[in-house]
Structure 1
């Protein structure tokens, strides 16, 4: 098995974040969505301007998982106004844990989650929260295994399709 290193991303990692984001999102959700909705989401979410702004936002942090010199996943966490849905000031949102299909089952997602937990503890957050698509049982099981519980639902726009995300949280 590859040795996985987790490193903080900077503005210089723009292309890497875009590549992983597009590839993993497509791998995970293309079969469950229309081609038009998928293309619209990928363009809206991973264009240069959007990703550059996210990488430079002081309330967002990115961490890339590397298998040797190959990027295999990334984590995005948000505090304050960067949260996709406002929680309290002591909350840390896990917006994305994306792992390439080639590395599913190799604990990359767990390592990225543990980095989010470490960030939350360093920032003295009182809880972690996230939204996960209700039709993604693999991800739901992963978060439940790590102590998250459902507390609400919200709408996630996938292109022109309004989908339901389960909001989950873990008290620290």
Structure 2
């Protein structure tokens, strides 16, 4: 069965604390051991502050969903369009800025569910393609996107603290 027990909910400002918790936890599980403590702390404090997340939730061009598994937060998804996108990519497109599933929920098709949600949102908004950035060292994510027909089309620099890292840019044609 496809992602049995999982649901997604579009969230608003009152859920900011829940969002912050899953942002910090999922990002820590994925990247903390691969970066210096200083750079990691700086990135988390800047990008996952309550104030910053509230601003993102108030942006009408961003859509943030919490992923639940039988009532427990299991991950989240953040989509951007228009001026909310982190890069100026030409064309009618939707960015997947963040897509994370907590480790204890991985292996249950939750990532597929979030990807399916992204594709449906892109189609509903009449976009031509979806795009995202993936750290060149995140082999698991690269394999996931390539398996799901995303095509590498460019690179950009993602700054974590003071560390400039190379991200591969991928797109999925809708």
For each residue in 1:61-105, what CA deviation from the matched residue of structure 2 results, as whole angstroms up to 9, or x when unmatched?
011110122111000000000000011351000001011010111
Secondary structure of the 1:85 match is: coil
Q: Of 33, 36, 39, which residue of structure 2 is paired with 1:37?
A: 39
**Partners of 2:90 and 2:59 in 1: how far apart?**
18
CA contact (8 A) 1:95 1:131 kept: yes
2:117 corresponds to 1:115 = yes
CA contact (8 A) 1:10 1:55 kept: yes
**TM-score normalised by length of structure 1:** 0.97
CA contact (8 A) 1:79 1:89 kept: no
2:32 corresponds to 1:25 = no
- Paired position in structure 1 for 2:72: 70
Secondary structure of the 2:98 match is: strand
CA contact (8 A) 1:156 1:165 kept: yes
Secondary structure of the 1:153 match is: strand
- Paired position in structure 2 for 1:126: 128
Query: For 1:96-107, what aligned pairs fall within 5 Å after superposition?
Result: 96-107=98-109
**Partners of 2:13 and 2:115 in 1: how far apart?**
22
Structure 1 residue ranges, 4+ long, deviating more than 2 angstroms after superposition: none
Which structure 1 segments of 5+ residues have no match? Answer: none
Secondary structure of the 1:86 match is: coil
RMSD (Å), alpha carbons: 1.1
For each residue in 1:104-162, what CA deviation from the matched residue of structure 2 results, as whole angstroms up to 9, or x when unmatched?
11111111111010000000000000000000000001111111010000000011100
Q: Count residues with an aligned counterpart.
A: 172
**TM-score normalised by length of structure 2:** 0.96
**Partners of 1:93 and 1:143 in 2: how far apart?**
14
Which structure 2 segments of 5+ residues have no match? Answer: none
